[in-house]
Amino acid sequence: MPLQSECIAALTAAAKSASARAYAPYSHFPVGAAVLTESGEVFSGCNVENASYGLTNCGERSAVFAAVSAGHRKLLACAIYVPGDQVAAPCGACRQVLREFGATMDIISACGSGEEIRTTLDVLLPHSFGPESLK
């Protein structure tokens, strides 16, 4: 079922708000994300960088981990927001983490210029590896 425009707007607004809290002193590339759970709750997260770059966590994964920490296991959508002029898609690691909780979830990428791209995770990560692959 396609997301309603009001739902997309609220999810994108939550991602935008989260981007303002990003800790990005090295890349200067703040990212906010928000995920929509099956029960209709929204959880947001931002990127948190670290001087030891490999320990940095992306906004998408921060949002997923917040939802999972609250007991959710099924995600319907993820919005990503960056304040710059170009939209940003989830990195490979984030795609795989998102895949764990919603193989066909809606992905909304938005940016400060107002540009927005809508797609689904199965388009971004075709022929994916998921929990059912281990059975």
Say if residue 5's pLDDT is above 90. Answer: no
Neighbouring residues of 81: CB distance < 8 A, sequence distance ≥ 6: 12, 15, 16, 18, 19, 31, 32, 33, 110, 111
Marked catalytic residue, from 60, 100, 115, 116: 60
* 2-11, 69-78, 120-129, range with the lowest pLDDT: 2-11
**62-113 per-position pLDDT tens digit:** 999 999 999 999 999 999 999 999 999 999 999 999 999 999 999 999 999 9
Question: 50: how many CB neighbours lie within 10 A of its CB?
Answer: 12
Q: State CA 6 to chain mean position distance.
A: 18
Q: Hey, is 108 helix, strand or coil?
A: strand
Say if residue 2's pLDDT is above 80. Answer: no
Catalytic, 116? Answer no
Question: 40: how many CB neighbours lie within 10 A of its CB?
Answer: 8
- Give the domain 5-122 fold: Cytidine Deaminase; domain 2 (3.40.140)
Say if residue 42's pLDDT is above 70. Answer: yes
